[in-house]
């Protein structure tokens, strides 16, 4: 069995917000495969179904985002499923709107929901799909992620959710590497602005400053 969890906040006021991309993806996956995600269990709305003969458990934690790990810990303990059969879908402000980033494991980055999941599971060796929502330095982070979609963002995010659903299907059928190869969005790294005269100083042997690996 594969456990596919989407992170978000419960309640109608949060349904169409950037921070609920995980819930939105689960809803679309459920609709596509006629899975009813309505059973309240393990502090989550859950639903069981099948895709290509493989059993799926879809999970939407109802603990609010920052405590998502409490729900997924209960799910994993109850079903005793291998951590490699867990996939978590969530939003990411560090990716451009509509971009997808799929990984087999990794850190939580800046996402509080994923921090909770990793803390409660005490491991990070599970697959994840990050849906980019971008960022806006002019709007406080909490207001930005809990805000609705702009007219420009909406088609990008709708397409990203469709691709995320296809990526889940690919992951279940062919594995995480196939999903990464097929659905990861290529995002160009932004080059830091060069200060006036920097080229000349470097040519004269002045050491470079900063880190070119983007971290």
The catalytic position among 19, 42, 85, 111 is 19
CA separation for the pair 166, 160 (Å, rounded): 10
Half-sphere exposure for 66 (CA within 13 Å, toward CB)? 1
**Residue 71 dihedral angles phi and psi, to the nearest 5°:** -65, -50
Residue 21 burial (CB count, 10 A): 27
Cα-Cα-Cα-Cα dihedral sign, residues 181, 52, 41, 122: negative
Three-state secondary-structure class, residue 208: coil
Q: Which two tokens stand for residue 70?
A: 């409490």
Q: Decide if 16 contacts 148 (C-beta within 8 A).
A: yes
19 tagged catalytic: yes
Catalytic residues: 19
């Amino acid at each position: 069995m594969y456990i596919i969890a989407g992170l978000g906040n419960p309640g109608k006021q949060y349904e169409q917000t950037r921070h609920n991309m995980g819930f939105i993806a689960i809803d679309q996956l459920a609709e596509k495969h006629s899975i009813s995600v309505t059973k309240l269990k393990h502090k989550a709305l859950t639903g069981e179904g099948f895709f290509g003969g493989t059993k799926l458990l879809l999970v939407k934690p109802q603990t609010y985002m920052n405590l998502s790990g409490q729900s997924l810990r209960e799910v994993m303990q109850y079903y005793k499923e291998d951590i490699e059969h867990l996939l978590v879908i969530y939003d990411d402000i560090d990716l451009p709107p509509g971009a997808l980033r799929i990984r087999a494991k990794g850190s939580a980055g800046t996402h509080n929901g994923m921090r909770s999941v990793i803390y409660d599971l005490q491991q990070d060796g599970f697959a994840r799909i990050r849906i980019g929502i971008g960022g806006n330095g002019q709007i406080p982070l909490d207001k930005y992620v809990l805000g609705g979609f702009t007219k420009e963002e909406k088609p990008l995010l709708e397409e990203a959710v469709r691709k995320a659903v296809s990526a889940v299907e690919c992951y279940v059928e062919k594995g995480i590497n196939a999903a990464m190869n097929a659905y990861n969005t290529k995002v160009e790294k932004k080059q830091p602005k060069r200060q006036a005269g920097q080229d000349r100083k470097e040519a004269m042997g002045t050491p470079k400053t900063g880190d070119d690996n983007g971290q």
